[in-house]
Structure 1
Amino acid sequence: MKRLSKQRMTRTLFWGLLVYTALSSTIAWSIQFGLIPIEPRRVQATDEQKAPVNNTKELAFAEQFTKEYFFWTLGKEESRKQRLQSFLISSIDSQAGLNMKTTKYNSYTQNINAWQVKDRGDGVKEVTVYAETILTNTTNQSDQKRVDRYLVVPIKQAGDSFRVVDFPYLIPPPVARDIAAKEPVTSGSPVSGEIANQAENFMQTFWKVYTNGEPQEIAYYFKNKQASAGLTSIQSFVSMDGLSVSQVDDTYIVNCDVTLEDVQTGVQLVSHYVFTLVKETDRWYVISMKQGEI
């Protein structure tokens, strides 16, 4: 009797395992071929994956307000009041806290740029706006001066736009820390005095043509022979200083400070350039030129 019971249990386990294997394989293949739809796995976005906040509207609103805030003409206070009305909540002073009774200057803005946005809480954002203002003495038109300001504008969403919800206030300009300039890193091995002189003579000729020649003439100095407009009619060559030459495989790396003169104004500008040159027989060519690498 016990033996029969064991045989039945063995058969039951065998057929149960067989049915389970068959069902598992069928489900797996159905999912593989899309016969059974499954919901895609959702991964919660990390801080790095979240889309950046778009502050375009806040910045535009704060810039428009700042333009009107710093624009006044003595005797026309009512005009300024009307211009500010659409920006301010009703409980704020109609002149946004600015009293013109003691000033002797009219004001307008020349340039305006939003600097930063900070959350103050309760849906209020503080937008810092840079404003280049021009002040003109009302009794002496020749007494005119430029004053740069940083204005913090507290704003809050109001329907499709915003409102200034508190008095704007001035802050000192941001102060940047000094950054120590890195010494130019010369890659490659030193070259002989003869090679250094040849490279310098080539560079002197190159700059004269690059600032005064036609595209076809300039192309003659490049390895790829592609025509380039260069700086003709833009800048003229003045001098080249601090030239150093090193060799990397079959090429030569040239670092130099170049002084160029603006054709329109006559002001001179100094820029650092890094050239990669190649010498073929008696001819030198420019493979690449990069500006500002120090």
Structure 2
Amino acid sequence: MQLSFSKKEKQKKPKKSEKVKVTTIGKRKKLVIFLWILLLSSLSFGIYKNFTAIDQHTTHEIEKIETSMIDTHTMESFTKNFVKDYYTWENESEALEERVENLKGYLTEELQTLNADMIREDIPTRSSVNEIDIWSITEETEVTYSVVFSVEQRITEDDEDPTLTYSTYRIVLYQDEQKNLVVIQNPVLWHEPKKSDYAPEQVESNGTINATTEQEVTAFLETFFSSYPTATEQELTYYVKNKALPAIEKDYTFSELINPVFQEQGNQVKVWVTVRYLDEITKAMQLSQYELTLEKDTNWIIVE
């Protein structure tokens, strides 16, 4: 038996392979990522520089407050010895030669030559030094220092009465690594320090303390200053806290309080007062000025 087909079998077509989706990054996205990286890098660098700058600044400030100590004792002694030899002379050849020899221990060779004719052999005067005052020692460079001093000379000429003269000068010293000194500039006339016209502001009572408290504090101070000159440290503990005033153990006799000024500050009383004492040894009046802080516990006591 034969089988026949009226229609031809349809052949199945192969399925098309599915495409794999690929995610692509566009140019804009790459640019955004690059900008973010650049921003973060800039921010990190800025923070680093900021901290570094602070550290450097702090180090600079620390270096700035460092100070060097100058040992002025050697310079003072050297200057005084020089001034004494420089401003002392006799009108005799032997004494003048000795003076020149002594000055070699202070002056450079150039200054020795310069000062050779300072005191002539026929000079009619004699000079001795009564007093030397050192006013200041100033660092000019790392190895040079200026010294301002005054000297009082006793000048005698022939048989006349001596004359006192007082002058101020400035010299320059050089100091080497071994702390040795030499005068490198001759004495130059300088200005002498004068009295300042400064006047401290006067303290006045401001009405914060009542009359009863003022009387109590005044009575306490009179009692305390009467016994203070001869009081021992143990005795002072009844009047003074934390060693605010030292024991003096002097033969003084209390006379009076002069113009005490009182101000109340919280639970304390501030006192400005001058105390008049008689010094039993010199028989002179001793006027001592105090600025005290008092508190009241069981009794009044000086705390500062």
Ranges in structure 2 where 5+ consecutive residues have no aligned partner: 1-21, 46-54
Q: 1:78 to 1:211 in 2, by over 3 A?
A: same
Whichever residue aligns with residue 266 of structure 2, its letter is D
* 1:117 corresponds to 2:134: no
- Verify the 8 A CA contact 1:151 1:169 in the aligned structure 2: yes
Deviations 1:180-199 (A, max 9, x none): 2211154671312x332222
Q: Residue 87 of structure 1 corresponds to which residue in structure 2?
A: 106
Q: Residue 35 of structure 1 corresponds to which residue in structure 2?
A: none
What is the CA distance between 1:81 and its match in structure 2? Answer: 0.6
Q: Distance in 2 between matches of 1:45 and 1:251?
A: 43
Q: Residue 33 of structure 1 corresponds to which residue in structure 2?
A: none
Q: Which has the higher helix share?
A: 2
What is the percent sequence identity of the aligned residues?
A: 18
| 156-165 vs 66-75, greater mean Cα deviation | 156-165
* 1:175 corresponds to 2:194: yes
Q: Which has the higher strand share?
A: 1
Q: Distance in 2 between matches of 1:9 and 1:220?
A: 91
- Verify the 8 A CA contact 2:143 2:176 in the aligned structure 1: no
| 154-163 vs 77-86, greater mean Cα deviation | 154-163
Q: Which TM-score applies when normalising by structure 1?
A: 0.65
* 1:49 corresponds to 2:51: no
Q: Residue 198 of structure 1 corresponds to which residue in structure 2?
A: 216
Equivalences, count: 263
* 1:209 corresponds to 2:230: no
SS of equivalent residue, structure 2 residue 293? strand
Deviations 1:230-269 (A, max 9, x none): 2222644332110233333333222211123445433333
Ranges in structure 1 where 5+ consecutive residues have no aligned partner: 29-39, 289-294
Q: Distance in 1 between matches of 2:174 and 2:244?
A: 55
Q: Which has the larger radius of gyration?
A: 2
Q: Distance in 2 between matches of 1:257 and 1:274?
A: 9
SS of equivalent residue, structure 1 residue 252? strand
What is the CA distance between 1:211 and its match in structure 2? Answer: 1.1
Q: Residue 218 of structure 1 corresponds to which residue in structure 2?
A: 236
* 1:272 corresponds to 2:301: no
Q: Distance in 2 between matches of 1:280 and 1:243?
A: 22
SS of equivalent residue, structure 1 residue 168? strand
- Verify the 8 A CA contact 1:126 1:152 in the aligned structure 2: no
SS of equivalent residue, structure 2 residue 110? coil
Q: 1:139 to 1:212 in 2, by over 3 A?
A: farther
Deviations 1:208-227 (A, max 9, x none): 111123333332223x4869
Q: Which TM-score applies when normalising by structure 2?
A: 0.63
